Structures are given as C-alpha cells and as structure tokens.
Amino acid sequence: MRISIVQPDTLWEDKTGNFRELEKLIKSLDNTDIVILPEMFNTGFSIDPVRLSEPPKSITFDWLISISEKGNLAVCGSYIVKGKEKFFNRWVFVTPEKKSWHYDKRHLFRISGEQKVFSPGTKRVFIKYRGLRIAPNVCYDLRFPVWSRNRNEYDLLINSANWPWARRDVWVTLLKARSIENQCFTAGSNRTGVDGAGIKYCGDSMIINPRGEIIASAGRKKNCTISTDISLEELSAFRKKFPVLKDADKFIITA
C-alpha cells in the first residue's frame, strides 16, 4: 500500500485557487493508493462557516470525487460542511468507486473559538480500503489519546491538520506517541505558510511507523508531496512479536 501526503501553502478562503494548486501537486504523484490533504484544505483554518460552508455533497465533494476517479486513488481531508442547522469541520474520504465516508472533528480548538461556531462529532469512524483499516483524526484530536485508542480496529491513523509553527515539537511528539501506543502507522498532513489570521504553520507533514520512527517527512517545504509504502505484513508480524494491544485496558467511550 502506497500512501502520499500533500503539504500546501493554503490560499486564504480561496476554494478555486486551492483546488487548482492541490490538483497540480496530486498530478505529480505516481502510482499511489491514498492522498491525504490537510485540515480545511480548501479555505485554510477559517471560523467563518456561515460564508464558507457548503452542503455535504457540493463543490468540494465533487472535486474530491473527480480527483479520485482521475488518479484511481482515494483522497481525504477536511472542509467546512453545513448540516441541519449546524456546521462541522468534516473530514471526508472518497474512493474511485465513488464510495465515501466522513468523520466530524471531535475536539474543537477552544483557543481559536472553533467550538463557538462548529458542532463536535460524536462518533469514531473506521474505514477499510484496499485491505487497509483506517481511523481519521483532525488536528486538535491528536492531543486526546483515549479517542484514538486502537482496540485492533485500524492499521493507519490519519491526522489532517493546520498545526501552528509555535507548537511544532508537540506535533512531532504526539504523532510518534500515537503510533507507538496504538501499534499503527500514523500519517500527519499539515500546511505551511501564514494564514489570513496571521498564524504561521510548520509543515512537517510525516508518516511514522509503529515503532515511532519517521519514514517520510516533508520538513518545512512549501507546496510539496511525500510518499512511502507501508506493509500490512510487516505490521502484523510486529504486533505478533510484541503484542501490546492484547494488554490494553478496556473502557467505553461516551459522546
């Protein structure tokens, strides 16, 4: 299984411009199975959902489907969606077969006021694609390990983020921790540049193996991609050799 991350310098609240730039980067990829985009990849991290939101299956969803079909790959990332009288920071995963799943960001970033205008998700989501089991997170979710605790439910944890430069070390540390404690691959997709609110982003998109080792990294490069192959056979062998998940504590997550 080959997975790829796109790390853009996202244009502020410019959907058309971001679609154009992201498509260029995705076209540069060869023979990948999954393309991972950052949080709010079509607008940047804006908390203006009244103006920027769209119905669940509208312009951005259609664009994702188009990219997926053209490249014969799955593509995922989050954007602002309007539900029934509510707004969500919604992560969407689509396939070339036009199948789709979505996950609503559970932990809303209080420091930015995100919780004042968005509604939190209530469900953990697991996706199976080409034999790979996937669990999605969005940005701030990364700080809450109980929510992403693996009970043999997934092989790859994806976090689509807009993670600021000021907390770069936290980003790297938490991505590694989630891989180690859940014995999974972890892919963190982040943006670079400065947004319309003046927040600077660190990039550092990366893919980490179950041992907590970085196996692909974009560093702080703007408008770039990274790709790597991950092996489910190697993951299975590692889990059998070092069966940490069998000793994990049991618990129930409530919404």
Catalytic residue among 105, 176, 202, 224: 105
Sheet containing strand 206-208, strands side by side? 127-129, 132-138, 156-160, 185-189, 206-208, 214-217
- Locus of tokens 């995100």: 114
- Locus of tokens 């954007």: 79
Alpha helices in the chain (DSSP H): 15-27, 49-52, 59-71, 114-117, 168-182, 232-241
Amino acid (one-letter) located at 248 = A
CB 185, CB 175: distance < 8 Å: no
Catalytic residue among 13, 21, 23, 39: 39
Let me know if 213 is a catalytic residue.
Answer: no
Catalytic residue among 139, 184, 202, 224: 139
Residue 36's nearest CA partner among 205, 215, 180, 211 is 205
Let me know if 15 is a catalytic residue.
Answer: no
Let me know if 222 is a catalytic residue.
Answer: no
Residues serving a catalytic function are: 39, 105, 139
